Structure 1
Amino acid sequence: MENLSFVQNFQALSALLHPQQDTEDDCETLSPSAKLGPGNIGPKPRPDSAGSGCDSKDIWSQEEVAEGPQFEDLSDPRPQPEYEVMMKQNVGTEDVFLGLSGKDPSSMSCEALLVKIQLPDTRVCDVVLDVRDTFLDLRTPKYKLGLHLPQPVQSQEGKAQFHSEKQELEVTLTMKRPLDFINRK
């Protein structure tokens, strides 16, 4: 007897979860717009794109996304010069010998970025330098450099120096550090 009630309970639960479509009940017939879902929004995938290796869930194709720096001109044949990006911190004798300021050798204690750019056969008057908060753009007649900086910098407080004997441009940029009040004790 107990098995019979279990079977009846299971059938009642099944009827609740999967009701039969009965048009004779008070179910209203759904309009065509009520049968639409999120998958019906937007253009339908083209049948020729399925064979090209594209996933139908992709928003754009790889050809539509341009890579590289935001100021890069793809038709510009000038090469990129050799460069080096270094972190820089101001250290005094009280930091080295006594450790009074709480600075350590990590990059968290650095105050500036130093970018060294090798510019052979370049005169200082030919250099055009534009520094933004997160991007450095350098143009000369022979070279171009679009560099995304690893840390945001204060673009108005930078300093550039050209060493003609080494044919090297040194750009020193003060970093924006939102937690600076913690690092400077």
Structure 2
Amino acid sequence: MDFTFSFGQLQALSNLLSPADQEEEDLEEQPAKRTFNLNPGQIGPARGSNPTDSNPENPPDTKQIWAEEDVPEGSEFDDIWDPRQQPEYEILFKQRVGTEDVFLGMSRKDGSTACCEDMVIKIKLPDCKPADVTLDIKERFLALRSPIYKLGLHLPHPVDSKNGKAQFITDTHMLEVTLTMKREFDFINFA
């Protein structure tokens, strides 16, 4: 394609964009456009103002670049340079039911995950021995390490990290971790 324009074509384009028949009076009647020149120094709170509620008893540490509550729990385990592979896993929810729940329907439990008390995480670890597996559980994070595998899993619900059960099934090379969930409204769901 040829993108060269003649003088006449350029003048026609100029007339299209700014018509010559518009009088100067019309231009004066239009409100002047205000332009703002922004620079990086104008982004954020004004200088001298403190955007956070500072506590005079605990002054903020000026050498910290972020607060501890800003870093999600478990991010210290994320390592993109670790060559170990992530194992296959599955998260299941489990209810504790009795005959009064199943046959008589005496409780308010149904098949939803809101009525589940436990979270079961099944992790496939082929070619792995139980002695080589290291498992660390926080309230919202599960970390598994072995010579072959690594898994950093953010959990969908907070769990009781002190009381849990892990079982390694050697026939299928499967690690089953059962954790009790602790949610805000469980006292209502299981009353």
Q: TM-score, normalised by structure 1?
A: 0.63
**What is the aligned partner in structure 2 of residue 116 from structure 1?**
122
CA distance in 1 between counterparts of 2:164 and 2:179 reads 4
Residue 74 of structure 1 deviates from its aligned partner by 1.7
SS in 2 for 1:94: helix
2:106 to 93, 96, 100: 100
Unaligned 5+ residue runs, structure 2? 1-30, 44-73
**What is the aligned partner in structure 2 of residue 42 from structure 1?**
41
**What is the aligned partner in structure 2 of residue 143 from structure 1?**
149
**What is the aligned partner in structure 2 of residue 162 from structure 1?**
168
Structure-to-structure mapping, 1:66-81, within 5 angstroms? 70=75, 71-81=77-87
CA distance in 1 between counterparts of 2:41 and 2:116 reads 50
Report the identity percentage: 58
Corresponding letter in the other structure for 2:136: D
**What is the aligned partner in structure 1 of residue 187 from structure 2?**
181
> Moved runs in structure 1, 4+ residues, more than 4 A?
none
Q: How many pairs were matched up?
A: 126
2:140 to 134, 141, 150: 134
1:86 maps to 2:85: no
Structure in which a larger fraction of residues adopt helix:
1
Corresponding letter in the other structure for 1:175: M
CA distance in 2 between counterparts of 1:159 and 1:93 reads 24
SS in 1 for 2:143: strand
**What is the aligned partner in structure 2 of residue 22 from structure 1?**
none
Residue 43 of structure 1 deviates from its aligned partner by 7.2
Change (3 A) 1:43 1:77: farther
CA distance in 1 between counterparts of 2:147 and 2:175 reads 15
Corresponding letter in the other structure for 2:178: T
Residue 177 of structure 1 deviates from its aligned partner by 1.5
Residue 40 of structure 1 deviates from its aligned partner by 5.6
Residue 99 of structure 1 deviates from its aligned partner by 0.8
Question: What RMSD, in angstroms, separates the aligned Cα atoms of the two structures?
Answer: 2.1
